Amino acid sequence: MDEQRFQAYVELIEQLLGCPQGQEEKLLQANRELVDAGLLEAMEQVAAHLESQESSNIAQRLRGLAAQLAQTLMLRTAASIGAGDARQFLLETLQLVADSQGNSQQIYPVWAQQQVRFNAEVLAAFPTVAAELLEGNPEQQIFVVAVFAEFGNLIQQFPLGIRWLNLELGIAAYEQALTVRTQSAMPVEWAETMNNLAIAYSDRIRGDRADNIEHAIAAYEQALTVRTQSAMPVEWAETIMNLATAYYSRIRGDRADNLEQSMAFYEQALTVRTQSAMPVEWSTTIMNLATAYRNRIRGDRADNLEQAMAFYEQALTMRTQSVMPVEWAQTMNNLATAYSERIRGDRADNLEQAIGFYQQALTVMTQSAMPVDWAQTMNNLANAYLTRIRGDRADNIEQAIGFYQQALTVMTQSAMLVDWAQTMNNLANAYSDRIRGDHADNLEQAIAFYQQALTVRMQSSMPVDWAQTMNNLANAYSERIRGDRADNLEQAIDTYQLALQVYTQDASPEQWAQTQNNLANAYSKRIRGELADNLTDAITAYQLALQVFTRDNFPENWTNIGNNLGNLLVRNGQWQEGLKFLLNNLKHLSQGDDLLAHANALLGVGYAYEILSDWDNARLYYRDALRLYEYIDNQPGIARSRSALGSVLIYQGHLQRGITELMNAREIYTQLQQPEKIAEIESVYQAAQCAIERQGTET
């Protein structure tokens, strides 16, 4: 499938989701040339990602449309086969399952050659064929439903064919098996079939996703009336773990409650699935429990991440590279992600640990052996390098860009649409932060990549991802050098406000707060409108962000916003309040180990004193900031503090010393290729030169 056709599918999906209900058929008729199996594949990719982003209502609608469309396409194929042929094919298929005793190595190669024959007619024929086969004596019925159950297991795990149809055939087979495998007559087999039916409903594509999960939960709970811990401990633990996974994915009910219930069930399963008795199953369950803790809503976020990491490390005692290489690599990848999100410990150390674990995972997840896993892990590794503290910042960003570009050799737009869009968004972030190359060019490249990502990440089909990329695009416009500066800031403000249509405080509190912070930054720099109004809007947005970014839960965000808000209050004439914010933040940071944040706070306090015309204190804090930036070798910070220090020295009449600081700052900004900063320095430098010339004339 070529990129152009795939993009056409995406555009049609967007139109389908945006059109009024009932008009979809007309739209499909108008685009008949795109209605094929490729469209179904694109719809499933988008729906799966929507579901992972908790946009379940939109995913459900898209899957409903896909199922209807698939049925139409299958009926077209089936019309040439006929109901009689479908019946005969189903009988032959069931006979194959019986003859091979459910051996997938014998069955799957045959099915691979017969994919086109698995269609809606076969699904429709199942009840009739089942009724015919169940006309025999009880002994024959027991044998037949055993074949049905085995067929259900095989078809729902079959990696080829149309996924939704495979699952529907599995559900049909289990339901027919349950007409004989009743709880009273065959309790053990009934419970086993109920457990497998629940698995099929958990994965089901057709129908309402929330309903399907509720069906799965109900079936698991019914199975547990027979699969009790005392009578069938191994099977009980299996079903309890499956039930935990269903609660983890549950849409209905309170999300926090569902996660708590999920964790409780995983912990119950571990009373039987012990490391000594069932080491493989224990490691799988402990892995799932770790992931639940990593995404937990209740409890302290830092505590939850520590618990998740402890569980991942426990899983690795069984999932070793030599014994279970694939599972080991998956666990290493998850552990790396937990370290990249970790709150406790030294942030720089955590990122180094994450990078090391990703690199270890990649020794198994190679491009040739596991291309999809390799690409996803490369993307994760790139994310870690983009936020890395140690090493040269410019080198880290270049490394991240290289990893994203490598990931995109597998995550192509046609093969992995959603992952491609995510990686394009991440690559744009890297270009937005890039130090090497021309800064203006980098920002233009970032904007272009964000806009490409938005051809897939659309508001109607992928609202959360759309909002993320819109926020990032707004950041790029806020920093943009090319074009009219006032226009760029207006574009940034408008784009942030659009993102906030999706990022609400209730639904996405952290993202909402970050976007409010970004919007405040843009208002604080705004050229158009009244200055007083812009400052008021910025202060309001910062204060809203602090409703979520509290000191206890988000200390780093709280500190950064406090600095920005403090500086803005000073600019707005609220001097005492602003300075109080800044000094309070500085006191907090001086007790921690985040040297970069500490240096930024010193710079912020210096700026506040400069606004207050307290030149001595401004110079003192700028000098302290400079020393700390030099200690951690942060070149942008060194440039900012030297520029600020130079300006203050000039205001105090120390012209030559001030000019020296400005020239040092200009040299760094030249290396960093930031012409707008050079222009600002040049303006102050020229004023200082004029002052020197006036002094010479007066003398």
Domain at 690, CATH number: 1.25.40.10
Maximum CA extent, the chain:
121
Pick from 626, 629, 628, 610: nearest CA to 618: 610
- Which tens digit of pLDDT belongs to each residue from 400-424? 999 999 999 998 887 777 889 999 9
Kindly state whether residue 126 falls inside one of the protein's structural domains: no
- Which tens digit of pLDDT belongs to each residue from 34-68? 887 778 777 877 777 666 555 556 666 777 777 77
Cβ-based neighbour number of residue 168 at 10 Å: 24
| pLDDT value of residue 290 | 97
User: Please, is 391 exposed, middle or buried when counting C-beta atoms within 10 Å of its C-beta (0-12, 13-18, 19+)?
Assistant: middle
User: pTM surpassing 0.95?
Assistant: no
Kindly state whether residue 529 falls inside one of the protein's structural domains: yes
CA distance 383 to 672: 22
Tokens encoding 117 = 């024959």
pLDDT at 695 over 80: no
Kindly state whether residue 72 falls inside one of the protein's structural domains: no
| pLDDT value of residue 698 | 58
Confidence of residue 32 (pLDDT cuts 50, 70, 90): confident
3-state SS, residue 450: helix
| pLDDT value of residue 79 | 47
Question: pLDDT averaged over the chain?
Answer: 90
Ramachandran bin of 21, using left for φ above 0, alpha for ψ from -120 to 50, beta for the remaining angles: beta
CA torsion sign, 573 to 579 to 585 to 589?
positive
| Burial per residue of 244-280, b for 16 or more beta-carbon CB atoms within 10 angstroms, e otherwise | bbbbbbbbeeeeeebbbbbbebbebbbebbeeeebbe
| pLDDT value of residue 54 | 54
Question: Residue 640 belongs to what domain range?
Answer: 514-698
What size, in residues, is the chain? 699
User: Which segment of 173-177, 202-206, 392-396, 452-456 scores lowest on mean pLDDT?
Assistant: 202-206
> How many structural domains are present in the chain?
1
- Which tens digit of pLDDT belongs to each residue from 82-93? 556 889 999 999
Kindly state whether residue 122 falls inside one of the protein's structural domains: no
| pLDDT value of residue 73 | 62
- Which tens digit of pLDDT belongs to each residue from 255-305? 889 999 999 999 999 999 999 999 999 999 999 999 999 989 888 888 999
Q: By the 8 A CB rule, do 205 and 59 touch?
A: no
- Which tens digit of pLDDT belongs to each residue from 330-362? 999 999 999 999 989 999 999 999 999 999 999
Whole-number Cα distances in Å, 372 to 187, 354, 364, 407? 41, 20, 12, 9
Pick from 585, 581, 556: nearest CA to 569: 581
| Burial per residue of 557-589, b for 16 or more beta-carbon CB atoms within 10 angstroms, e otherwise | bbbbbbbbbbbbbbbbebeeebbebbeebbebb
Pick from 510, 572, 566, 570: nearest CA to 535: 572
Q: What percent of the chain stands above pLDDT 70? A: 94
Q: Give Cβ neighbours of residue 210 (< 8 Å, ≥ 6 apart).
A: 56, 60, 251, 252
3-state SS, residue 414: coil
User: Given the structure tokens 């707060």, which residue do they identify?
Assistant: 513
Q: Which residue has the higher pLDDT, 696 or 1?
A: 696
Kindly state whether residue 364 falls inside one of the protein's structural domains: no
CA distance 373 to 54: 22
CA distance 129 to 146: 15
DSSP letters, 218-242, are HHHHHHTTTS-TTT-HHHHHHHHHH
Cβ-based neighbour number of residue 412 at 10 Å: 15
User: Please, is 497 exposed, middle or buried when counting C-beta atoms within 10 Å of its C-beta (0-12, 13-18, 19+)?
Assistant: middle
CA 260-262-264 angle, 5° bins: 70
| pLDDT value of residue 83 | 56
Q: What is the mean pLDDT of residues 360-366?
A: 96
User: Given the structure tokens 């192509």, which residue do they identify?
Assistant: 412
Confidence of residue 237 (pLDDT cuts 50, 70, 90): very high
pLDDT at 696 over 70: no
Q: What percent of the chain stands above pLDDT 90? A: 63
Identity of residue 310: A
Q: What is the mean pLDDT of residues 579-601?
A: 82
Whole-number Cα distances in Å, 217 to 135, 183, 202, 222, 232? 32, 18, 8, 9, 19
Confidence of residue 161 (pLDDT cuts 50, 70, 90): confident
Kindly state whether residue 215 falls inside one of the protein's structural domains: no
CA distance 586 to 382: 32
Confidence of residue 447 (pLDDT cuts 50, 70, 90): very high
Q: What is the mean pLDDT of residues 548-563?
A: 84
User: Given the structure tokens 């926090």, which residue do they identify?
Assistant: 256
Confidence of residue 74 (pLDDT cuts 50, 70, 90): low
Confidence of residue 554 (pLDDT cuts 50, 70, 90): confident
User: Given the structure tokens 């639904």, which residue do they identify?
Assistant: 507
| pLDDT value of residue 43 | 80
Taking the chain, what is the end-to-end CA distance rounded to the nearest angstrom? 80
Kindly state whether residue 534 falls inside one of the protein's structural domains: yes
Kindly state whether residue 660 falls inside one of the protein's structural domains: yes
Pick from 203, 217, 318, 224: nearest CA to 262: 217
For residue 573, what is the enclosing H or E element? none
